[in-house]
Amino acid sequence: MALEYYLVLSALLFTTGVIGVLIRRNAIIIFMCIELMLNAANLAFVAISRSLGEATGQVFVFFVMTVAAAEVAIGLAIIVSVFKHRQTINVDEVNSLKG
C-alpha cells in the first residue's frame, strides 16, 4: 500500500477538521474538530514512520496524544467555566474582545 494514499487521507481528515472549526459555533464541537486535526497529523506520522522504518514517528504520536489529553482536560474545564458565567458556549456570543 503506497504511502501517498495515507497522506492524502490524512490531508482530507485534517481539512475536515479545519472546516469544522470554521463553520461550527458550538465550542465543544470546535474542540472535537481540533482532536480530529491532531489525529490526522498522527496518521501522517505513523504512515511515514512505517515507510521509513523508523520508530521516531510513533514516539511523536505518543507525545501528541499526551499533549492532546492535557489540552482536552484544560479546554473542557474552560468551556465549563465559560458556560457557568454566560450560560452559553456559542463562540459568537462570547465576544468580549470586540474592539
Partner 1 sequence: MSIELIVVLLVAPLVGFLINGLFGKWLKGSEKLSGWIGALAVLVSLVCSIIVFASLHGGAAPFDETLYEWITGESFAFNIGFHVDALTAVMLLVITGVGFLIHVYSIGYMHGDEGYTRYFAYLNLFVFAMLILVLGNNYLMMFVGWEGVGLCSYLLIGFWYDKQSATDAGKKAFIMNRIGDFGFLLGMFTLFAAFGTLDFGTIFDAAEADNFQKVFGASTLVIATLLLFVGAIGKSAQIPLYVWLPDAMEGPTPVSALIHAATMVTAGVYMIARSAVLYEIAHTGQVVAWIGVLTAFFAATIALTQNDIKRILAYSTVSQLGYMFVGVGVGAYASGIFHLVTHAFFKGLMFLTAGSVMHAMANELDMRKMGGLKSKMPITHWTFLVGALAIAGFPFLSGFWSKDEILHSAWGSSPIIYGIGLVTAFLTAFYMFRLIFVTFYGESRVDSEVASHLHESPPVMWVPLAILAIPSALIGLLLGWGGHDSWFHHFTKSVFPDAHHDASGNVIVFMVISSVVGLAGIAFAWRRYSKRVPSDEPTGALHRLLTNKYYVDEVYNTLIVQPVKNGSQFLLWKLVDNGIIDGIVNGVAALIRFVGGLLRRLQTGLVQAYIISMVLGIVLFLAYYLFFT
Partner 2 sequence: MNPEQILFILFGAVSLIGAIAVISFRHPIYSALSLIVTFFAQAGLFVLLGAHFVAAAQVIVYAGAIMVLFLFVIMLLNLGTLSVKGAMGSKLKGFAIILGILFAAEGIYIAVKAMNDTAVAAAEPATEAVTITTYQIGELLFSKYLLPFEVTSLILLAALIGVIVLVKRESQEEN
9 vs 21 by CB, closer to partner 1 = 21
- Hey, is 23 helix, strand or coil? helix
By CB under 8 A, residue 6 contacts partner 2: yes
Place of cell 520508530: 55
User: Which of partner 2, partner 1, none has residue 89 at its interface (CB below 5 to 8 Å by kind)?
Assistant: partner 2
Cα→Cα distances 45→20, 62, 69, 81, Å: 22, 10, 18, 34
CB of 92 to partner 1, least distance (A): 6
CB of 73 to partner 1, least distance (A): 20
1 vs 22 by CB, closer to partner 1 = 22
Cα→Cα distances 26→29, 41, 60, 63, Å: 5, 23, 30, 27
Interface residues with partner 1 (CB under 8 A)? Answer: 18, 21-23, 25, 91-92, 94-99
Site string for partner 2, 75-94 (x = CB under 8 A): -xxxxxx-xx----xx-xx-
